[in-house]
C-alpha cells in the first residue's frame, strides 16, 4: 500500500475502487487483511482529508455506477467525516479543552515506561505492536484496527486517550482533527457518554483472518467518565454575497481549488499555506509533513497549468498580509488556531456548500444525521 501524493493518483484510486470493489464494500469493509490487501476499502482518506478529492466527487462517482441503495453504506461512511466536522464546529471547546488536557498529560507521561513502550511497539500484545509498526511505516491503519488500537491503548494498557489521539495525528497521512479526536473520544466512552468500544479477542481474530493469536485484553473495562458537557455554540457559516476581486488563501484541507464552489471566481492570486511543525502544537512526523508538502506542490502545478497566479507560503507569512483577503475555511484545526491567536481579522472565510448545508444536522447523533443523507446528496 502506497499513497502517492497527487490528485491524479487519488482519482485513479477512486475510479479503481468504484469499478472493482465498491459492490462488495458493505460485506467486506470490516476485515483488515493487512497492509498488502486493501482492496476491500477505498483507502481514499489521505486524499479526502486534504481536499485533493472531495466527498461529493466520491459520492457522485459511486452513484454513477450504482444505485443509492447499493452504495448507501459507503456514502454513509464518506459523510461521517462531514458529520464529525460539523459536530466539532458546533462545539469548538472540545478541541481547545483537548489541547489543554494534552499539554498537562504530556508532562505527566513523558517518562512513563508503559507509554514509551506503547509508542515503540514493545508491549506484550503482539497485534498492538504490529499495528504501531504498520502505522509508522504506512502512515495508515484500517478503520476497525483504529478502533481496536484505541481500545487496547485506553482499556488494556490504561493510557490516556488524549496521548493516543496525538500519536495517531503524528503518523497518519489522513490525520484529521475532527475524525481523530472524536473517534478517540467515542472509543473511550466520553463522546456518547457511557458508551465505549471494547476490543475483544474473538473479534480481532475473526476480522484479521486469524493473523494474530493469544490476544489477552481487558474485555470488561468500564467507560471513561468526563464531567464536561458541551452545549452547542451557534455559529453562522455564511459567505459574502458578492465576492470582490481579492487574493485567496488555501490551507492543507482544500488542495483542489478546481473542484471547489469558488473555482469560477477570479482571484488575483492564490496563496497555498504550509504549516510546518514550529506552528503546530501536535508535532507531525517528517513523512506526514512531506506528504502535505508534495500535495501542496501538486496543487500549485495544477493551478499554474491554468495560468492562475499562485505561491506557496509558510503560515507565518500570513501575518505580512495586511489587506482583506479570502480564505477557504480551514475548519477547526491548528491553522484556524493560528489565525485566531494572531488576530488575523483581515481574513474572510469562504465555506463549502456541503458544509453549510450539512452542519445544521450535526446537533444530534449520527443516527439522526443519517436520515438527512438523501436530502444532502439530492441538493448537489
Ligand atoms: C480512533 C479513530 C481515529 C480516526 N482518525 C481518523 C483521522 O485522523 N482521519 C480520518 O480521515 N479518519 C479517521 N478515522 C476514521 C476512519 O478510520 C478512516 O477515515 C478510514 O479508516 C479511512 O480509510 P478508507 O479511506 O479506506 O475508508 P473507507 O472505509 O473506504 O471509507 C470511505 C471514506 O469515508 C470516510 N470515513 C470512513 N469511516 C469514517 C469514520 N469512522 N469517521 C470519519 N470518516 C470516515 C473517510 O473519508 C474514508 O476515506 C478514525 C477512526 C477511529 C476509530
Q: Is 146 in the pocket of ligand 1 (CB under 6 A)?
A: yes
Same domain? 115 vs 188: yes
Number of CB atoms found within 10 A of residue 267's CB: 21
Predicted pLDDT of residue 380: 80
Output the residue whose Cα is nearest ligand 1's atom 22. 45
Q: 370 in a domain, yes or no?
A: yes
Whether residues 252 and 188 share a domain: the answer is: no
From the list 191, 129, 118, the residue with the least C-alpha distance to 157 is: 118
Q: What is the 45 CA–ligand 1 centroid distance (Å)?
A: 6
Q: What is the pLDDT along the chain (380 residues), one digit of tens a residue?
A: 789 999 999 999 999 999 999 999 999 999 999 999 999 999 999 999 999 999 999 999 999 999 999 999 999 999 999 999 999 999 999 999 999 999 999 999 999 999 999 999 999 999 999 999 999 999 999 999 999 999 999 999 999 999 999 999 999 999 999 999 999 999 999 999 899 999 999 999 999 999 998 899 999 999 999 989 999 998 899 999 889 899 999 999 999 999 999 999 999 999 999 999 999 999 999 999 999 999 999 999 999 999 999 999 999 999 999 999 999 999 999 999 999 999 999 999 999 999 999 999 999 999 999 999 999 999 88
**Does any domain span residue 83?**
yes
29 ligand 1 Cβ < 6 A:
yes
Please report the atom of ligand 1 found closest to the CA of residue 147.
53
C-alpha cell at 233: 455554540
Same domain for 152 and 202:
yes
In this structure, the residue with its CA closest to atom 23 of ligand 1 is: 43
| Cβ atoms of residues 206 and 33 within 8 Å | no
How far does residue 143's CA lie from ligand 1's centre (Å)? 6
What's the gap in Å between 243 CA and the centre of ligand 1?
34
178 lines ligand 1 (CB under 6 A): no
Instruction: For ligand 1, atom 2, name the residue with the nearest CA.
Output: 183
Q: Which residue among 55, 81, 134 has the greatest number of ligand 1 atoms within 8 angstroms of its CB, and so is best to mutate?
A: 81
Quote the pLDDT of residue 100: 98
Full domain range(s) for residue 127: 96-207
84 C-alpha to center of ligand 1: Å?
Answer: 11
Same domain, 105 and 192: yes
Task: Please check whether residue 239 lies inside any domain of the structure.
Answer: no
- Same-domain check for residues 346 and 370: no
Q: Does 53 share its domain with 82?
A: yes
> Which is the closest atom of ligand 1 to the Cα of 47?
49
Task: Determine whether the shortest distance from the Cβ of 44 to ligand 1 is under 6 A.
Answer: yes
Amino acid at each position: 500500500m502506497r499513497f502517492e501524493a497527487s490528485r491524479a493518483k487519488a482519482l485513479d484510486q477512486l475510479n479503481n475502487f468504484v469499478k472493482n470493489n465498491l459492490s462488495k464494500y458493505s460485506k467486506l469493509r470490516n476485515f483488515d487483511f493487512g497492509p498488502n490487501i486493501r482492496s476491500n476499502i477505498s483507502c481514499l482518506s489521505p486524499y479526502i482529508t486534504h481536499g485533493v478529492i472531495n466527498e461529493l466527487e466520491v459520492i457522485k462517482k459511486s452513484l454513477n455506477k450504482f444505485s443509492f441503495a447499493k452504495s448507501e453504506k459507503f456514502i454513509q461512511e464518506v459523510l461521517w467525516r462531514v458529520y464529525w466536522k460539523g459536530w466539532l464546529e458546533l462545539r469548538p471547546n472540545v478541541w481547545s479543552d483537548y489541547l489543554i488536557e494534552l499539554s498537562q498529560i504530556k508532562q505527566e507521561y513523558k517518562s512513563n515506561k508503559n507509554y514509551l513502550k506503547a509508542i515503540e511497539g514493545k508491549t506484550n500484545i503482539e497485534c498492538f505492536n504490529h499495528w504501531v509498526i504498520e502505522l509508522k511505516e504506512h502512515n495508515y491503519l484500517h478503520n476497525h484496527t483504529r478502533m481496536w488500537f484505541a481500545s487496547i491503548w485506553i482499556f488494556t494498557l490504561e493510557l490516556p486517550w488524549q496521548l493516543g489521539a496525538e500519536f495517531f495525528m503524528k503518523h497518519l497521512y489522513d490525520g484529521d482533527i475532527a475524525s481523530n479526536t472524536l473517534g478517540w473520544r467515542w472509543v473511550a466512552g466520553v463522546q456518547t457518554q457511557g458508551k465505549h468500544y471494547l476490543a475483544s479477542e474473538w473479534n480481532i481474530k475473526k476480522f484479521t483472518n486469524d493473523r494474530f493469536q493469544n490476544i489477552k485484553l481487558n474485555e470488561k473495562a468500564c467507560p471513561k467518565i468526563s464531567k464536561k458537557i458541551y452545549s452547542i455554540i451557534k455559529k453562522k457559516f455564511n459567505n459574502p454575497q458578492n465576492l470582490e476581486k481579492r487574493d485567496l488563501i488555501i490551507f492543507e484541507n482544500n488542495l483542489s481549488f478546481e473542484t471547489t464552489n469558488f473555482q469560477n471566481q477570479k482571484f488575483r492570486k492564490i496563496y497555498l499555506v504550509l504549516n510546518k511543525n514550529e506552528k503546530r502544537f501536535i508535532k507531525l512526523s517528517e513523512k506526514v509533513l512531506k506528504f502535505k508538502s508534495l500535495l501542496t506542490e501538486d496543487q500549485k502545478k495544477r493551478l499554474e497549468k491554468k495560468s492562475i497566479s499562485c505561491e506557496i507560503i509558510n503560515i507565518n507569512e500570513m501575518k505580512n498580509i495586511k489587506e482583506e483577503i479570502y480564505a477557504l475555511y480551514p475548519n477547526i484545526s491548528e491553522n484556524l488556531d493560528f489565525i485566531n491567536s494572531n488576530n488575523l481579522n483581515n481574513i474572510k472565510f469562504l465555506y463549502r456548500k456541503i458544509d453549510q448545508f450539512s452542519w445544521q444536522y450535526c446537533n444530534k447523533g449520527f443516527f439522526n444525521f443519517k436520515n438527512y443523507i438523501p436530502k444532502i446528496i439530492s441538493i448537489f
